[in-house]
A and B are shown apart, each in its own frame.
Chain A
């Protein structure tokens, strides 16, 4: 699946998007965040404050317990500040 990163999370990860292949045991958004955060220090930093991480699955808002099995694209971003 494709992972997208925006704003401060994008800066900390160091890229805006990438292909990821989490193991099947990773089944929810929260588990994917934990899996990504374990990759290296940059990811750990990007995902350090779990309370401020928002996610979208296929361009729709998702929750931490949303299943990711059918997702083609998962985006991670901080709380939105438009308007």
Chain B
């Protein structure tokens, strides 16, 4: 029975340390896939991202998504960490660690986690501009919805009789 580590953090987190924690004392893990999402600034216009979240629901949705991943793949460890509050360019926003015996399920679970997190976890990003002007809310992308929907399709195909 794998208990995923789910963490919301107002502070920066140490991704390497999280890997060490996940693997500590383990000799049965053959594959670890780590995804890190960072606050990105393309042209110096951004001073920070403000990450708003829905306390309580953010944790429960991340937990639900992690449980869904555990039900789909035989994982040996799972860590999901998400920042909230002010995140500066170059800082990490999200970390997903998926450990398994083999790489295929670790890759798939990490991608599934991120695709679902993007469209189901209640977080919203607002840009804070370097020039002091009011920043915009980051718009949701249709391709994120499509990526999450594609997993639903895979399930219904797998479950429907041929």
Contacts and interface: CB of A to CB of B under 8 A. Distances in A.
Given A7-B137, A8-B137, A59-B60, A81 B54 contact: no
Nearest to A79: B140
Interface in B69-118: 82, 93-94, 114, 117-118
Interface residues of B, number: 28
Contacts of A7: 52, 124, 126, 137
Contact of B94 (A6, A75, A80, A82): A82
A6 B125 CA distance: 11
B37 A83 contact: yes
B125 A82 contact: yes
Contact of B124 (A4, A52, A56, A80): A80
B34 interface: no
Contact of A80 (B37, B60, B123, B126): B123
B129 interface: no
A80 B120 contact: yes
A61 B121 CA distance: 10
Interface string A56-69: 10011100000000
Interface SS of B by simple majority: mixed
B56 interface: yes
A77 B124 contact: yes
B153 interface: no
A79 B125 CA distance: 11
A82 B120 CA distance: 9
A8 to B, nearest CB: 5
Contact of A81 (B56, B60, B61, B123): B123
B67 to A, nearest CB: 14
B123 A83 contact: yes
Contacts of B53: 82
Given A59-B56, A81-B138, A82-B125, 13 more contacts: A4-B54, A6-B124, A8-B124, A56-B54, A61-B61, A75-B122, A77-B54, A77-B124, A79-B119, A79-B140, A80-B118, A82-B117, A83-B118
Nearest 5 interchain pairs by C-beta: A82-B123, A79-B140, A7-B124, A59-B57, A83-B118
